[in-house]
Structure 1
Amino acid sequence: MSTIHHALVLNLHQPPGNLEFLLDHNPWEAKEILYAYDRIPRSLWGYEDVGRVHLSLSGTLLETLSSPEFQQRVYGMVDCGSLLWQLQNQSIIEILGTGYYHPVLPLIPVVDREDHLHRWQGVAKHLFWREQFNGFWPPEMGFSMELIPLLQQAGYRYVLVDSEHVEPVSPMRWEELRYRPHIARHGDAEIVVIVRDRDLSDAQESGMEFGWFENELIERTRWCDFEPLVTTCTDGENGGWFRNTTEGSNFWTCFYLELMNQARGGGRIRPTFISDYIERHGVHSEVRVREGAWNTGWHHGRDFTQWTGSQLQKDALARLHAVSATFHRLREGAIAGEDHDPADWHALTEAQWRLLRAETSCNFYWGEEWVHRAHTDLDAVETALQPLLARPQPERSLPT
């Protein structure tokens, strides 16, 4: 019987200012979240031979955890500086790249996507002391094929996508499609696609015993004539399964500890890094990925319904695109006109980060509850740009 390789992927994200808000208004929930983060490296200590976890940390979460003021405030609950240091351990943790403000990338203006990727890499390279991140986690697993050139240009080797949106270019069996890496192409660009098993990920999110998981993997991969890669992806700090602080009653001490012990004892399921699997087993086929996201709550992830379902959400997204177009027109004009006025560039810098923050997925996810947050930041963008907008704009000559 062949080895079954398991890639565990956890998404860690907090909206801007959320942990600070919870500390003021619901301190126990803030502690649960911080303990969930701190539990990750602690659970892997002493298991460097078998422990393998992929983590995606949004830029806003990294911004909070690395803030001296925040670190001082929560010291005694969690030592955030030590936590960030422990997450650098490449024997047990592979850090995945993502978008800084956690946007659903296919929903935001094309011209803003690169800024999210570059901004995240800027802070992550500093905090994790490395220049290269092999894998990319699309926030909310929101993916479209047109992202491939951007991800390749940013240096990513593979991207995580949800199983419900993957279809083969050439015929292949169900287990081949789900449990092997594939190539996806857009124009001349290509990237390796790693398929998240939606059913097993749902179980990981809600809670499961190792015995059930082991049996399920054996049955699902029974007809594989290759060593399969089974990938499960969920949030890593939401829900009682990850937040429970009782020993033996959470994901790490009830489930993953037994998985590591079984792997150390010669069990069939072996935790693995995706990069290591690709190096050893390669990539064998091509797929297309339909536009979509992962499933959340009662939503299936198709058509990005979670973020575009109401008219208020649609209106906010439309305004976001309009404000973004204005910002980029003014910035390009400043560059072309060789504007050296510090006040202008201060205004453009202020407008840019507010624009990117307005694109945070959470602003659009909670029905209509947080849409006002996007508008607040877009108001700030327009205020910052007002001095530039008030000036006469150079006329553009018509093409002949």
Structure 2
Amino acid sequence: MMPIHHALVLNLHQPLGNLPDLWEHNRWEAKEILFAMDRIPRKLWGFEDVARVHLSLSGTLLESLSDPVFQNRVYGTVDVGSLLWHFQNTSLFEILGTAYYHPVLPLIPEADRKEQLWRWLHIGRHLFWRERFPGFWPPEMGFSMELIPLLAELGYRYVLVDSEHVESVTPMDWPQLRYRPHIARYEGAEIVVVVRDRDLSNAQESGMEPEWFCQEVAERTRWCDFPPLVTTCTDGENGGWFRNVTQGSNFWDAFYLPMLMRARFDAEAPRPIFIGEYLDRYGAHGEVKVHSGAWNTGDHSGHGFTQWTGSTRQKDGLAAIEDLSKQIHDLRWRAGELGRGEAEIQYPLSQALSHLLQAETSCHFYWGEAWMERAEQLLKKAEAELETARESLGDE
């Protein structure tokens, strides 16, 4: 029987300033989130021989966790500085690269995508003490093929995509398509695609028993003539299953730790593995194309990005981002051509760009129109800074 490998992927994200704000105005929810994150390394100590967890942490979350003021504020509840240190344990964790402000990348202007990714790399390299991150987590699993050249340029080996959007180019059956890494190509660039099993991920998000998971995985992979890679991806600090503080009643106590015990003593149990290690052993096979889309949300399938584009106000907000992005990048280019590097121009330009990138946060569009005002206010700030830069440049 072929060994079954399991890649566990957890996404951790909080919008900029959300955790400090919750700490001031909704202390218990802030504690639930911090406890859920702090629980991750603590539950895995002593299981370095079998535990393997992939973590994606947005730049805005890392900004809050690494802020000395916030660290001092929550010290005594969670030692956030030590938490960041524990996440550097390479025996337990493979850190994935992502985009700083957690935008749905296919929905933002191309010029801003690289800014989002570079900004995350800057803070990721600083906090995790490494130059390279092998895998990429697209926020909301929002992916389109035109992202491939950028990801390849920045050195990413593989990207996570949702199973509902993957189509084979090389002939392959259903188990091969879902439980084996593949190659995707676009305009001469290529990257390894690792497929998230949507059904099993849904179960991981809502709560499942080890026995059920083992039986389900065995049944789904029974016809594989290769060592299958079963990949499950969910948020890691949202929902009662992950936030539950009762001993024995959360994801770690009720599911993952019992799974680790099985992996130690049962050769037929799914064995946790880092995706990079799997690729080193078995490689990627066959070519696929990935249709544009995101992971499933509470209301939508992820097709067409409806969660973020369903209303007129959401569409108008994205159109405003497109227009303002062009103005900001055009003025940056013009200032460079004229050799105008003085602070009176460059500082408001950099501020305008930062406000724009922050406005692109997926959460601003996720909740229908409930958070759209946040994006709109940030765009107004960006417009004001842009106007200041224009006046200093003497540009009409």
CA contact (8 A) 2:299 2:307 kept: no
Matched, 1:301 2:302: yes
> Deviation of residue 386 (structure 1)?
1.2
Instruction: Describe the superposition over 1:65-123 as per-residue Cα deviations: whole angstroms up to 9, x where unpaired.
Output: 00000000000110000000000000110000000000000000000000010000000
Structure 1 unaligned blocks of 5 or more: 395-400
The residue that corresponds to 1:331 in the other structure is 332
Indicate conservation of the 8 Å contact 2:15/2:361, yes or no: yes
1:381 alignment partner in structure 2: 382
SS at match of 2:280: helix
Measured in 1, the distance between the counterparts of 2:267 and 2:368 equals: 44
SS of the equivalent of 1:9 reads strand
Indicate the residue corresponding to 1:23 in structure 2: 23
| Equivalent residue, structure 2, for 1:393 | 395
Aligned counterparts of 2:307 and 2:381: Cα–Cα separation in 1: 26
Matched, 1:114 2:122: no
Amino acid in the other structure paired with 1:361: S
Matching residue of 1:202: 202
Once structures 1 and 2 are overlaid, which stretch shifts more, 383-392 or 115-124? 383-392
| Alpha-carbon RMSD | 0.9
Give aligned-pair identity as a percent: 64
Bigger shift: residues 22-31 or 355-364: 22-31
Residue 102 of structure 1: SS of its match in structure 2?
Answer: coil
Where do residues 78-97 of structure 1 align in structure 2 (5 Å cutoff)? Answer: 78-97=78-97
Output one character per residue of 1:296-327: Cα deviation in whole Å (capped at 9) or x when no partner. 00200000000000000000110111111110
Instruction: Give matches, 1:42-121, under 5 Å.
Output: 42-121=42-121
Q: CA deviation at 1:388?
A: 3.0
Aligned length: 394
Cα offset, 1:392, TM superposition? 4.6
SS at structure 2 position matched to 1:238: coil
State the alpha-carbon separation in 1 of the partners of residues 3 and 179 from structure 2: 13
The aligned counterpart of 1:341 is: 342
Aligned to 2:357: 356
Distance in 2, Cα, partners of 1:285 & 1:342: 51
2:108 partner amino acid: I
Residue 323 of structure 2 aligns with an amino acid whose one-letter code is A
2:320 corresponds to: 319
Q: Does 1:255 align with 2:284?
A: no
Q: Quote the Cα distance in structure 2 between the aligned partners of 1:328 and 1:19.
A: 31
2:389, 2:7 → 1: CA distance? 49
Q: CA deviation at 1:332?
A: 0.5
* Consecutive aligned runs of 4 or more in structure 1 exceeding 3 Å deviation: 390-394
Match of 1:131 in 2: 131
Residues 210 and 255 in structure 2, CA contact (< 8 A), matched pair in contact too = yes
1:275 aligns with 2:301: no
Residue in 1 that maps onto 2:219: 219
Say which SS state the counterpart of residue 375 (structure 2) adopts. Answer: helix
How much has 1:149 moved relative to structure 2?
A: 0.1
Q: Which residue of 2 aligns with 1:183?
A: 183
Tell me, yes or no, if the aligned pair for 2:5 and 2:230 is still in contact at 8 Å: yes
Match of 1:174 in 2: 174
Aligned counterpart, 1:397? none
**Mapped contact 2:136–2:156 kept (Cα < 8 A):** yes
Q: Which amino acid aligns with 2:291?
A: R
- Match of 1:8, as an amino acid? L
Write the deviation string for residues 45-80 of structure 1: whole angstroms up to 9, x where unpaired: 011100000000000000000000000000011000
Q: Indicate conservation of the 8 Å contact 2:345/2:390, yes or no.
A: no
Look up the equivalent residue of 1:7 and give its one-letter code. A
Q: What is the distance in 1 between the residues matched to 2:341 and 2:190?
A: 39
SS at match of 2:73: helix
Query: Which residues of structure 2 form unaligned runs of 5+?
Result: none
Query: How many angstroms apart in 2 are the aligned matches of 1:54 and 1:388?
Result: 42
The Cα of 1:39 is off from its aligned counterpart by 0.5
Aligned partners of 2:44, 2:23: CA distance in 1, in Å?
A: 27
Shift of 1:351: 1.0
TM (norm. structure 2) is: 0.98
One-letter code of the match for 2:274? F
Letter paired with 2:349: L
- Structure 1 residue 238: deviation in Å? 0.6
Q: Residues 245-288 of structure 1: CA distance to partner in whole angstroms, max 9, x if unpaired?
A: 11110000110000100001134210000000000001110000
Give CA deviations for 1:140-183 in whole Å, capped at 9, x if unaligned: 00000000000000100000000000000022110000000000
Q: Which residue of 2 aligns with 1:40?
A: 40
State the shift of 1:342 in Å: 1.2
SS of the residue corresponding to residue 247 of structure 1 reads coil
- The letter of the residue matching 1:215 is Q
Q: Give distance in 2, aligned partners of 1:152 and 1:342.
A: 34
1:389: how far off?
A: 2.8
Matched with 1:398 is: none
